[in-house]
C-alpha cells in the first residue's frame, strides 16, 4: 500500500520538477522519465513474488527482440494479467521504459493510471466513443509518442475486455457467422491492431497509412517499422483477482506465460483478389486466436503449454533483480525526504 501511494506521487513530482530539462533537451527528459517509469514498474512487478505466486515462461525467448519494434497481443482474463506481464518483462533490457500500453479506460483512475498517462499509454473507452473516434485518438497517441520517446513495444489486448464479459458476445457472433465457438478466449477485435499497423507500418511489407514520420525505403525496410508480432498467452492454474495477485491471501498460484514470435510481415504475406489489409489482418488474428484456444485447452488439461516439437514446453523463470529493487527503495526514501524538505521550505516561505 505504501509503495502504491509513494512511488506514483514521486514519479509525477519528478516529472514536474524536470520540465526545465524538457525545454532544453526533450530526448534527455524522456530518457530520464523512462528510467523512473522502469523503476516504478519494477516495484509493481515484484508484488506477485511478495504474494508467493510463481510466474513461469515458456515458448520463444522475447529477450532477444527487446531492441526491435514489436507488437504484443495478449489474451485478457482479469486485471492481474497486467501485473503478470509486468513481472515477465522485469529485468529484460529496461523494456518497461520503451513500451506503450493500450488498456481499458478505467485503469487511468488507479495510481498506476496516473503514471501511465504521463508516460504516454493509451486508455480505450469502448462503450461510448465511436470506432472512428477511438482509432483517431489511438493513432495520434502512437504517432506522437512512439518515435519521439524512443518506444519499441506496443502492448494490446485484442479481445477488448475481460474474457468473462466478452465470451458470450463472442460466441453469439461466432454462431451467426459460422465460426468456431471459443471457450478460453474471445474472438479478437482488429480495430486497435489495424490502427497501430496503419500508423507505424510493417517492416518489409506494409508502409502504413496514417502519416509515418519515418518514411520507409522502396522495399519498406525501415528500422522504425514493426518487425515482430508476439502472441502472448497467459494461463492460470486457478482464477485469481487483482487483490489476490497482490496480497496472496488465498495461497500461492502458478501462472504460465507462453510466447510465440512471428515476423510482422507474415500478416500481409498472401493477399487474395479483393482482399484488403483489414480483411487480411482480421483473418490472421482469428487464426491466431483459434490456435490460442488450442494452447489454453492443452494448458488446462496438462498444466503447461505444448512445445512446437510436441510434448510439454519447458518452462523458465526470471529472477527478481533484488539489488535493483533495493536501490529503487533507497531512491524512494531519498525522494520522500527531499519532498518533505521542499514542501517544508515552501510552507515556511509562505507562512
What's the pLDDT at 93?
Answer: 80
Q: Residue 210 above 60 pLDDT?
A: no
Q: How many helices (H) and strands (E) are present in the chain, helices listed first?
A: 12, 8
What's the pLDDT at 230?
Answer: 96
Q: Return the H-helix or E-strand segment holding 54.
A: strand 54-59
What's the pLDDT at 216?
Answer: 45
What's the pLDDT at 204?
Answer: 64
Terminal-to-terminal C-alpha distance of the chain: 32
> Which CATH number does 46-320 carry?
3.40.1130
Residue-averaged pLDDT of the chain: 85
What's the pLDDT at 217?
Answer: 45
Burial class (CB in 10 A: 0-12, 13-18, 19+), 326: exposed
Low-confidence winner among 166-180, 197-211, 213-227 (lowest mean pLDDT): 213-227
Q: How many CA atoms lie within 13 A of 299 on its CB side?
A: 26
* Cβ atoms 255, 237 nearer than 8 A: yes
User: What confidence category does residue 40 fall into, taking pLDDT thresholds of 50, 70 and 90?
Assistant: confident
User: What confidence category does residue 203 fall into, taking pLDDT thresholds of 50, 70 and 90?
Assistant: confident
What's the pLDDT at 271?
Answer: 55
Q: Residue 319 above 90 pLDDT?
A: no
pLDDT tens digits, residue range 107-130? 777 777 888 888 999 988 765 445
Q: Residue 329 above 50 pLDDT?
A: yes
pLDDT tens digits, residue range 75-104? 999 888 988 999 999 888 878 889 999 988
Q: Residue 249 above 50 pLDDT?
A: yes
Burial class (CB in 10 A: 0-12, 13-18, 19+), 110: middle
* Cβ atoms 174, 180 nearer than 8 A: yes
In sequence order, which residues have a C-beta less than 8 Å from that of residue 118 and are 6 or more positions away? 11, 12, 15, 33
Low-confidence winner among 96-110, 170-184, 299-313 (lowest mean pLDDT): 96-110
Average pLDDT over residues 334-340: 83
Cβ atoms within 10 Å, residue 191: 20
Q: What percentage of residues in the chain have a pLDDT greater than 70?
A: 89
pTM across the whole model: 0.88
What's the pLDDT at 261?
Answer: 95
**Long-range contact set of residues 101-109: C-beta below 8 Å, sequence gap at least 24:** 101/155, 102/138, 102/154, 102/155, 102/156, 102/157, 102/192, 102/196, 103/157, 104/161, 107/79, 107/82
What's the pLDDT at 293?
Answer: 96
Mean pLDDT comparison of 99-108, 215-224, 282-291, 323-332, highest-scoring range: 282-291
**Exposure string for 334-343, b = 16+ CB within 10 A, e = fewer:** ebeeebeeee
CA angle 290, 296, 302 (to 5 degrees): 140
User: What confidence category does residue 213 fall into, taking pLDDT thresholds of 50, 70 and 90?
Assistant: very low
- Give the full edge-to-edge strand order of the sheet including 153-156: 122-124, 99-104, 153-156, 70-74, 228-236, 254-263, 54-59, 315-316
User: What confidence category does residue 250 fall into, taking pLDDT thresholds of 50, 70 and 90?
Assistant: confident
Amino acid at each position: 500500500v505504501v509503495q502504491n501511494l509513494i512511488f506514483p506521487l514521486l514519479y509525477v513530482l519528478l516529472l514536474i520538477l524536470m520540465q526545465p530539462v524538457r525545454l532544453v533537451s526533450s530526448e534527455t527528459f524522456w530518457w530520464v522519465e523512462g528510467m523512473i517509469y522502469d523503476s516504478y514498474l519494477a516495484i509493481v512487478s515484484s508484488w506477485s513474488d511478495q504474494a508467493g505466486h510463481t510466474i513461469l515462461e515458456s515458448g520463444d525467448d522475447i529477450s532477444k527482440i527487446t531492441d526491435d519494434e514489436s507488437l504484443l497481443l495478449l489474451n485478457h482474463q482479469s486485471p492481474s494479467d497486467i501485473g503478470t506481464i509486468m513481472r515477465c518483462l522485469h529485468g529484460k533490457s529496461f523494456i518497461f521504459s520503451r513500451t506503450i500500453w493500450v488498456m481499458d479506460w478505467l485503469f487511468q483512475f488507479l495510481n498506476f493510471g496516473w503514471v501511465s498517462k504521463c508516460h504516454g499509454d493509451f486508455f480505450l473507452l469502448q462503450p461510448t466513443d465511436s470506432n472512428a473516434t477511438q482509432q483517431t485518438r489511438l493513432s495520434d497517441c502512437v504517432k506522437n509518442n512512439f518515435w519521439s520517446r524512443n518506444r519499441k513495444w506496443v502492448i494490446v489486448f485484442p479481445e477488448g475486455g475481460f474474457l468473462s464479459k466478452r465470451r458470450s458476445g463472442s460466441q453469439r457472433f461466432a454462431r451467426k457467422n459460422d465460426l468456431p465457438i471459443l471457450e478460453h478466449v474471445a474472438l479478437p477485435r482488429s480495430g486497435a491492431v489495424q490502427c497501430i499497423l496503419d500508423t507505424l507500418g510493417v517492416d518489409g511489407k506494409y508502409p502504413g497509412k496514417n502519416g509515418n514520420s519515418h518514411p520507409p525505403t522502396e522495399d519498406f525496410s525501415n528500422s522504425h517499422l514493426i518487425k515482430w508480432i508476439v502472441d502472448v498467452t497467459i494461463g492460470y492454474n486457478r482464477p485469481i483477482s487483482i487483490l489476490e495477485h497482490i496480497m496472496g491471501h488465498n495461497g500461492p498460484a502458478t501462472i504460465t506465460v507462453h510466447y510465440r514470435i512471428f515476423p510482422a510481415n507474415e500478416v500481409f504475406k498472401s493477399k487474395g483478389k479483393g482482399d484488403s489489409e483489414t480483411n487480411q489482418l482480421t483473418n490472421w488474428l482469428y487464426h491466431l486466436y483459434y490456435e490460442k484456444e488450442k494452447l489454453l485447452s492443452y494448458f488446462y488439461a496438462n498444466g503447461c503449454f505444448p512445445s512446437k516439437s510436441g510434448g510439454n514446453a519447458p518452462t523458465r523463470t526470471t529472477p527478481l533483480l533484488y539489488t535493483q529493487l533495493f536501490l529503487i527503495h533507497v531512491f524512494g526514501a531519498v525522494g520522500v525526504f527531499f519532498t518533505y524538505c521542499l514542501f517544508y521550505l515552501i510552507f515556511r516561505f509562505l507562512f
